[in-house]
Amino acid sequence: MPYRWTKPVAGPICFAVLLTLLSLTNMANAQTKLPAFFSDNMVLQRDAAVNVWGWDTPNTKVAVSLGEQTATATTDGSGQWSVSLPARAAGGPLQLKVKGSQVIELDDVWMGDVWLCSGQSNMEWPVAASANKDAEIAAGNHPKIRHIKIQHRPSATPETDLPTDGWKVCTPEHVGNFTAVGYFFARHLQTEVDVPIGLIGSNWGGTRIEPWTPPVGFQGVAALKSIADNLAKYPEKNEQGAINHQSPLALYNGMIHPLVKMPIRGAIWYQGESNNGEGMLYRDKMEALVKGWRQVWNQPELPFYFVQLAPYNYGGDGERLAKIWEAQTASLGIENTGMAVTVDIADLKDIHPTNKQDVGKRLALWALAKTYGKDVTYSGPLFRKATAEGSAMMVEFEHGSELSTNDGKPVRELMLAGSDRRFFPATGEIVTVGGAAKLKVSSPQVARPAAVRYGFHQLAEPNLVGKGGLPASPFRTDKWDRVYLPVGAEAYVGKWNFKFVTPDGAEIQHPMTVTKDGDALKVEMVDESGKSRELKVAIELHEMQLKFSTDYQGQSVALTYHLTVDGNKLVGDCEFDMAGQTGEFPIEAVKQ
């Protein structure tokens, strides 16, 4: 009934009436509430304690039942309550009933395996935008696959609830909005494992790895000390108080932390594009994410399967992506992880390859082998070691008992170098030695090989595969910071600005313009002394050499620039000879 003040009441009586009315108002507004991801059609993790929690009026008894199992709790002073029901085997449907100030009944609840599907846009990418979408949607009738999409929400502090429209059953009406990688992962799992699969789509296109990582993850990795020591500053906010969703903790707080009381079977992860260029630091960030999630879920062996990024033309330095591949491969050293390689199903012009079917299947193969104990081939060849044998390098692989190419052509995207760090295109021959398959790599330009690379460039389209047609991951055997790659004369054309430091500490800057002149290059340069000159040079396969003399500190000095193209830079060394004093130092120019 409504309450209306008709006349002020003085003294103690007024206070007593106020308390009574507030109590009546609280009773009228009392509401039993569950986190939003508890809904009809949900999947709960089988063979694990079933945690149910929520809110109600303080000091209210709450009874929870799941099928025939029951548990009770009383809300605390802030209105929070939680219960834990015994583990159940896979099956359903069940009704989850909560009775407090109100009654909540959730129907069509199943026990099965719950997988977190996280990362950036390639994980968020829906079935409706994937290859063969019309046929996939029409055939998307799998009632034991369910999906819940978590809406984008950064937060300054760890949240206890999150925005979502609830769980959806896999039907042609709903499947188009499912995470495509997650859906095809679940669909392939169900070819081998007859249990319901729940997919939690907590993902956000364009995001970095740091915002998904919990504080304890950063604290456990020494290389991330700069973040761990400053967690109180994160997530970052602008002057208006808006949260930077790309800063550490932002998405963990808002889109992961509310889930951690819910046991899950494992996680699949597709991310890295927004961290491109970080090299092996990305491996440290992967360790922080994986181990951090395992700690907050209190599941030390939580399976974590991830996708190695596909080749794509990002522009700039073509090895930036290759070094992310290298970091992702190194992440396999984190226990209970697996990596789906996608170098063979890329689109160099599209950062979102639409073939998500094979991506999901390859993740599922890892899960079937490592989580479900099935006897399936789950990985393509992974580099193990390379040994120089005469003029060739013999390469051995993990998961390389069988080697072939996916198109019947010779192995491509191979490079070989000697100790001079000059790489040449190489050929690969699949041979059998002592019953084991190996790759014999050679080049007529390299008599004594010291290093081999396979597919180590963002535009690579490699074709080496192993058993089951699963592709080999790109690799390099060297750790050289600077190498000389074969490039054409056109790569040197443009305006460049040199900026470097001489051995005696002088900072030098000067411009250079390079144009094509027949089969050679014309170089117009103003050197550090201000002297203008024009040079005509021939290009070797790996470098451009510029030889000239100039004045430096009142003395004549002979200089030789050895330069090679590295993305939008020229890098190399400068040899000098000044009055018999010789030496060399690194130089660099940036394209304007």
Tell me what pLDDT residue 553 has.
79
Q: Name the more confident of 246 and 18.
A: 246
Q: Are 492 and 586 in contact (CB under 8 A)?
A: no
Question: Average pLDDT for residues 7-15, to the nearest whole number?
Answer: 39
User: Residue 520: what pLDDT?
Assistant: 85
Amino acid sitting at position 117: C
Q: What is the percent of the chain with per-residue pLDDT over 90, rounded to a whole number?
A: 81
Statement: residue 181 has pLDDT above 50: yes
What's the pLDDT at 3? 24
Give the span between the Cα atoms of 276 and 458, in whole angstroms: 11
Class of domain 489-591: mainly beta
Contact assessment for residue 162 and residue 148, using Cβ atoms and an 8 Å cutoff? no
What is the SS3 assignment for 265? coil
Confidence at residue 29, expressed as pLDDT on a 0 to 100 scale: 55
> Position of tokens 């103690």?
12
Tell me the β-bridge partners of 438.
431
Q: How high is the pLDDT of residue 158?
A: 98
CA–CA distance, 188 with 549 (Å, rounded to integer) = 67
Tell me the pairing of strands 266-270 and 304-307.
parallel
pLDDT for 532: 83
Contact between 243 and 154 under an 8 Å Cβ cutoff? The reply is yes
The span from the CA of 411 to the CA of 432, in Å, is: 15
Query: Across residues 138-165, what is the average pLDDT?
Result: 97
Residue 220, both tokens? 């456990």
Q: What is the CA radius of gyration of the chain?
A: 31
CA dist., res. 37 & res. 168, Å (int): 11
Print the SS3 string covering 178-213: CEHHHHHHHHHHCCCCCCCEEEEEEECCCCCCHHHC
- Hey, is 306 helix, strand or coil? strand
Give yes or no for residue 414 having a pLDDT over 80.
Answer: yes
> In the prediction, which pLDDT does 1 show?
31
Residues contacting residue 159 through CB under 8 Å, at least 6 positions apart: 153, 253, 254, 257, 258
Residue 587, classified by CB atoms within 10 Å of its CB into exposed (0-12), middle (13-18) or buried (19+), is buried
CA–CA separation, 529 and 258 (whole Å): 64
**Residue range 166-187: average pLDDT?**
98
Rounded to whole angstroms, the Cα distance separating 198 from 41 reads 10
Average pLDDT across the chain, whole number: 92
129-133, 144-148, 389-393, 539-543: which range is least confident on average? Answer: 539-543
* 555 CB-near residues (< 8 Å, 6+ apart): 578, 579
Whether the pLDDT of residue 7 is over 50: the answer is: no
Please report the pLDDT score of residue 488 as a whole number: 81
Task: Give the model's pLDDT for residue 22.
Answer: 39
- Both tokens of 380, joined, read 């393509």
pLDDT value at residue 30:
59
pLDDT for 21 beyond 70: no
Q: Which residue has the tokens 């899960």?
A: 367
**Across 171-189, average pLDDT:** 98
Residues 6+ apart with CB under 8 A from 358: 342, 345
For residue 5, name the pLDDT band (cuts at 50, 70, 90): very low
pLDDT greater than 90 at residue 565: no
Question: Is the pTM of the predicted complex or chain greater than 0.75?
Answer: yes
Q: Is the pLDDT of residue 574 over 50?
A: yes
Amino acid at 150: I
pLDDT recorded at residue 20 = 38
pLDDT, mean of residues 407-425: 96
Please state which architecture CATH assigns to domain 133-370.
3-Layer(aba) Sandwich (3.40)
pLDDT at residue 203, rounded to an integer: 98
Confidence class of residue 537 from pLDDT cuts 50, 70 and 90? Answer: confident
pLDDT given for residue 572 in this prediction? 87
Lowest mean pLDDT among 37-51, 213-227, 416-430, 526-540: 526-540
In sequence order, which ranges of 393-544 are alpha helices (DSSP H)? none
Residue 388: pLDDT over 80 = yes
Bridge partner residues of 119 (DSSP): 203, 270
Residue 14's pLDDT is: 42
Question: Given this model, what pLDDT does residue 290 score?
Answer: 98
pLDDT, residue 579, reads 85
Taking residues 356-384, report their average pLDDT. Answer: 98
* Cis geometry, peptide bond prior to residue 586 (ω within 30 degrees of 0): no
How would residue 434 be classed by pLDDT, with cut points 50, 70 and 90? confident
**In this prediction, what percent of the chain has a pLDDT beyond 70?**
95
- Among 582, 522, 533, which residue's Cα sits nearest to residue 557? 582
Interatomic CA distance for residues 39 and 54, integer angstroms: 13
Tell me which residue of 265, 261, 300, 303 sits closest to 85, measured CA to CA.
Answer: 261
Quote the CA–CA distance of 432 and 378 in Å, as a whole number: 22
Residue pLDDT, tens place only, 272-315: 999 999 999 999 999 999 999 999 999 999 999 999 999 999 98
The DSSP string of 127-193 is GGGSTTHHHHHHT--EEEEEEEEEPP---SS--S---EEEEEEESTTTGGGSBHHHHHHHHHHTTT-
